[in-house]
Structure 1
């Protein structure tokens, strides 16, 4: 599956999404082959459970199949759109399961999972670029984004945690995301 990620460029992802929106099952298969490994990694990072991550991936692809017509390349890249859908599916599943804190303690049945080498290298490169861009943001923008997208908190939860008005928190996150898009472009 890692080969699919390396050989499938971003324009092809958008083409596949258009095919999925048109009802082409081959487009959905190609999209799955190209992105399932990366998207599974997103779900696994959130859920820390392979079975639950597989469930979130399946739910995510069902949502992708049903919502492919909503993808707008003018608003962002296909890979980011796909990642957001699977991320939300994983967060929904995590909320449904309740708050669990994995310990990485094998005696408790928790075990850290290592991604494949190619996936790890790609993630490290993308992660380094993202960290560099995050470092350029104002501390409030960065904190809001991290709480929302890494810790999975809602805007209301972030506002309560930071003891700031909800509108202020939303503005921080919106401005931070805009600056991140510009930096990552």
Structure 2
């Protein structure tokens, strides 16, 4: 009805929320301010068209703000050239997810417990051979044990580990 004082009160009470709606859609402060101005011009010109239909006036205002921001964004984006599609954006993240990490931790704990069941020298040999990459010859030289004995110990240790892990 053209009541400026009422309009000012409406603006003071709703502009921050409506600006937030516009800013979320547009992601640009200047564009959001312009969209908000468009909203309040519509409200000033069309306030008489609001009908109580079970929705609050705030819902009507938010809808106006969202629609104004979406329209402005469509116009803005229509003039832009599409960015080239990078196939890497569609490739799944190769890193393990939470479930895989949890499973790996459980397996590592089980392996650690099974390694503790081996004699300490054999457990150390298994660690060096299979976790650090030491060769049989390097293990033989480092421990002073014959090469064939190192192979036998490692084979038997792996069989014990497999049996322990299967329990």
TM-score (structure 1 length as normaliser): 0.41
TM-score (structure 2 length as normaliser): 0.45
